């Protein structure tokens, strides 16, 4: 099984050489490939220490390690959705960008069952380490490992120390003290973590892969909020919730608004429902707010929207219960495909399931804004 090391780092390239050294001396599987996740301002520091000064090749040569695929192309700079590199990762928005990028990379690497991932959280900011650990909990499999590396205090944060050398190598340590790199002790500790991949609903995993980690977190949190907000655009025929915009057909959006605009957002499909032409009129009023398929008007007994606007109601047909149920099913499929389960359950059209005349409703505690108007 192929082994890949993925590490988060800041401006300390030493964590990579220390990790490789510790894997070797502790008899752990050596990676065939290494990837590093870092920020734009740290990439040059990594390249300078590992490649320009040559500490990476020195480590390989000193301990006669097998070839490891690692070069500047394997240093992944965290970027936003527009491709802009993240500089120092101190901003508020930077945290979501980091979370999305790290989670996406871990998701990609864990797709191959013939690959074992060794994820290191020894470098980088604490938030980077947190996101790496969380991503491993979400995507990690039995063969994957999470680790940290430790070095003696007198060698920690010493710029000229990269790994314990096989022969004497005197360098300047803290406070100008001369220390011998050969005498350093480096320890790699595997970190236990909960592998949640099989326990997490597949729709949540798909949500993260299709949208992002941060939007999925927002969606999950939104489902637990007392006030969930849904934004509807009849022009675009979209529903937006927790930052996720979902395109709908005119038929699906119309049935959503049909119930939303009812008193208490509720309607019972009772025995005489289909005989009540005001139900058809209510539906067509909703449909007229958007550019909908003319076939929907034909379903209601009209030729097109023009006949409705001319108030030619003589041939107005019935709003069938089956049509409503089919429309709700289509709406729910579109929402369910894009939303985490808890959020979908909160904003869907609910039914009491009574066969003789089901009552449908939409939760009153959800805030709906349609075309900038609160419903």
Which pair of tokens denotes residue 85? Answer: 């590199």
Stated pTM of the model: 0.66
Task: For residues 28 and 24, give the distance between their C-alpha atoms in angstroms, rounded to a whole number.
Answer: 6
User: CB within 8 A of 268, min separation 6: which ones?
Assistant: 357, 358, 359, 360
Q: Give me the phi and psi of 33, to 5 degrees please.
A: -140, 145
Q: At what angle do helices 126-139 and 92-109 cross, to 10 degrees?
A: 40
Buried b (16+ CB within 10 A) or exposed e, 90-128: eeeebbbbbbbbbbebbbebbeeeebbbbbbbbbbbebb
Look up the CATH architecture of domain 2-190. Answer: 3-Layer(aba) Sandwich (3.40)
Task: For residues 110 and 175, give the distance between their C-alpha atoms in angstroms, rounded to a whole number.
Answer: 44
What pLDDT is stored for residue 314 in this prediction? 64
Domain extents for the chain?
Answer: 2-190, 202-374
The label of the residue with tokens 């001319």 reads: 310
One digit per residue, the tens of pLDDT, for the chain of length 375 reads: 899 999 999 889 999 999 999 999 999 999 999 999 999 989 999 999 999 999 999 999 999 999 999 999 999 999 988 888 888 767 778 888 998 899 889 989 998 999 999 999 998 888 899 999 989 988 899 999 999 999 999 999 899 999 999 999 999 998 889 999 999 999 999 999 988 877 666 666 666 666 567 766 766 666 566 678 999 999 999 999 988 899 999 999 999 999 999 999 999 998 889 888 888 888 888 888 887 777 887 777 776 676 777 666 667 778 889 999 999 999 999 999 888 788 899 999 999 888 778 999 999 999 999 999 998
Question: Is there a contact between 30 and 57 (Cβ–Cβ < 8 Å)?
Answer: no
What pLDDT is stored for residue 211 in this prediction? 56
CA 62 to chain CA mean position, Å: 41
């Amino acid at each position: 099984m192929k082994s890949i090391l993925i590490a988060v780092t800041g401006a300390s390239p030493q964590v990579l050489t220390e990790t490789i050294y510790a894997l070797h001396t502790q008899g752990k599987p050596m990676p065939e490939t290494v990837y590093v996740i870092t920020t734009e301002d740290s990439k040059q520091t990594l390249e300078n220490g590992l490649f320009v000064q040559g500490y990476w090749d020195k480590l390989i040569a000193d301990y006669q390690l097998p070839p490891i695929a690692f070069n500047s192309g394997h240093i992944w700079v965290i970027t936003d959705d527009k491709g802009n590199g993240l500089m120092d990762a101190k901003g508020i928005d930077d945290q979501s960008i980091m979370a999305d990028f790290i989670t996406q990379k871990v998701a990609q690497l864990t797709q191959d069952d013939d690959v074992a991932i060794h994820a290191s959280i020894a470098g980088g900011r604490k938030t980077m380490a947190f996101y790496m650990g969380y991503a491993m909990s979400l995507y990690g499999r039995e063969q994957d490992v999470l680790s940290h590396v430790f070095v003696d205090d007198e060698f920690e944060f010493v710029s000229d120390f990269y790994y314990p050398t096989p022969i004497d190598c005197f360098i300047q340590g803290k406070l100008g003290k001369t220390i011998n790199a050969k005498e350093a002790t480096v320890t790699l500790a595997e970190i236990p973590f909960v592998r949640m991949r099989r326990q997490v609903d597949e729709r949540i995993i798909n949500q993260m892969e299709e949208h992002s980690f941060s939007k999925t977190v927002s969606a999950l949190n939104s489902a637990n909020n007392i006030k969930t907000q849904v934004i509807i655009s009849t022009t675009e025929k979209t529903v937006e919730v927790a930052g996720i915009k979902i395109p709908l057909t005119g038929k699906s959006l119309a049935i959503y608004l049909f119930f939303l605009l009812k008193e208490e957002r509720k309607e019972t499909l009772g025995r005489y429902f289909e005989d009540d032409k005001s139900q058809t009129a209510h539906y067509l009023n909703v449909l007229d707010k958007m550019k909908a398929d003319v076939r929907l008007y034909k379903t209601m007994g009209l030729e097109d929207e023009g006949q409705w606007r001319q108030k030619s109601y003589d041939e107005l047909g019935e709003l069938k219960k089956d049509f409503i149920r089919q429309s709700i099913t289509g709406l729910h499929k579109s929402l369910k495909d894009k939303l985490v389960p808890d959020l979908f359950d909160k904003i869907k059209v609910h039914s009491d399931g009574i066969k003789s005349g089901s009552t449908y409703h939409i939760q009153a505690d959800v805030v709906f804004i349609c075309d900038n108007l609160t419903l």
